[in-house]
Amino acid sequence: MTFMPFILALVAAQVVSATPPPAKATAAQIAAAAPAAAWNAIAPEDLLVIDFADGQRSVIWLAPDFAPVHVANIRTIARSGWWGDATVYRVQDDYVTQWGDASEKKPPAAGITRRPPAEYEWAWGAHGQAVANPYRDAYAARTGFTPTGWAVAGDGRRQWLPHCYGMVGVARDLAPDTGTGGDLYAVIGHAPRHLDRNIALVGRVIDGMAALSALPRGTGGGLGLYEDPKMRVRIKRIAIMADMPAGERPVYQYLRPDAPAFALTLEARANRGLPFFTVPAGTADLCNLMVPVRKAPTG
């Protein structure tokens, strides 16, 4: 009888140990639960809409603070109708999807800057005091998140946008050419960070990424070009959202980097937990820490 309390305690301990620990909230769950005040609206003037002939749509958040001349060109090109016959003509596996003038013979749109400056890097802090990234990046000594919602890489003196999945850049010829913005690409594979500071990044795909990433891969020239013109993906319209009827303009928002919920999303991505993850990584690549974006709730 003297062993009975010991046995009961042992059984109780086993029952407690068999109870699974609570699941850790994911970054997506944390962002979804963030209060309305933690979200800022993205201006319709900064949203580029691509409507494909098959009915799909992609939305690109433009970054005029980082590439003002290129973005001004993009707005002019969109409003001029120059992209009326644009197609997706290059899809390189694990790299980029590119669209614009496949012939490379079309005269540039009227009113654009033909030779934009190399808008590749800026003074550190030029876009507001960045919220520091607590995790080390492989390509940059210092990284963070600007008040306007952009992940930035840098060295403490200069800062630049990183080539992460979904980022949009300006196709160009050999330097000193910087491209006009008439031909753009979106990163659809492992982040090609070696391109950082070599090409102007002008935005980020925030909706409809599958319309760009789930296309058949090209084989031409070792660059993913569609050798058969019939493979080119026809684009119905490219427009600035501010120019669309108000009833056709969804509101997109980004999670403010200074909001407490944003810091929690960073930690959740670096240390993913139970029930699936048993070994947290303790770190995260900058490209895994992009600022959450959503369509604003309605009603």
Tokens standing for residue 178: 């910087």
pLDDT one digit per residue (tens) for the chain, 299 residues: 455 555 555 445 555 555 677 899 999 999 999 999 999 999 999 999 999 999 999 999 999 999 999 999 999 999 999 999 999 999 999 999 999 999 999 999 999 999 999 999 999 999 999 999 999 999 999 999 999 999 999 999 999 999 999 999 999 999 999 999 999 999 999 999 999 999 999 999 999 999 999 999 999 999 999 999 999 999 999 999 999 999 999 999 999 999 999 999 999 999 999 999 999 999 999 999 999 999 999 86
CA distance 121 to 66: 8
CA distance 299 to 297: 7
CA distance 140 to 25: 29
Print burial letters for 88-97: b (CB count within 10 Å at least 16), e (below 16): bbbbbeebbb
Number of other residues whose CB lies within 10 A of the CB of residue 243: 13
CA distance 287 to 219: 27
Q: Do the bridges between strand 122-123 and strand 131-132 make them parallel or antiparallel, or are there none, so unpaired? A: unpaired
Domains and CATH numbers, the chain: 44-245 (2.40.100.10)
Tokens standing for residue 58: 């992609």
Contacts of 134 (CB under 8 A, 6+ apart): 266, 270
